[in-house]
Amino acid sequence: MKVVIDCDDAAIELKKTIVAHLENNGIDAVDLDYLGSHPGAYYPEIGYNLARKIQDGAYQRGILICGTGLGMAMIANKVKGVYAGVCHDVFSAERLRKSNNAQILTMGARVIGPELAKTIVSAWLVSEFQGGGSQPKVDQMHALERQSFESQ
């Protein structure tokens, strides 16, 4: 599995830690480093850029990190067919995949430390969508999303 990752200026060090953690665990981590080519970019551009890469199928999973994770989740969820959620604990990270089938995990570098972030990422990556009772809810989310995007 290839995992794409990026961050804003509030999370550069945590992103480096997560990239190293992924690589140490045999996971191909692709750092988009949007800030490197667009100095001064704000989180909406960065998150949108990564979410579009998920949307077009270039990557299956993505990780976005900003100060709180909230803004990154908000912008990623503006891209049709892309689902993101902010997680600052392991249970939420597991449920993000198992119950909601989200492709993007967002975290806040000002909210959690590096060791917890690594644990959250690991839990999220090994979790898979379970379907079952969650399937009708995810289907409804997709239907409402289509309705929202098509009504514009």
pLDDT in tens, 83-109: 999 999 999 999 999 999 999 999 999
For residue 82, is pLDDT > 80? yes
> Catalytic residue numbers?
66
| H or E element, residue 61 | strand 61-66
Contact between 69 and 89 (Cβ < 8 Å): no
CA distance 37 to 45: 12
pLDDT in tens, 29-79: 999 999 999 999 999 999 999 999 999 999 999 999 999 999 999 999 999
* CATH topology assigned to domain 2-150: Ribose 5-phosphate Isomerase B; Chain: A, (3.40.1400)
Domains of the chain: which residue ranges?
2-150
Q: What single-letter amino acid sits at 146? A: R
CA distance 50 to 52: 5
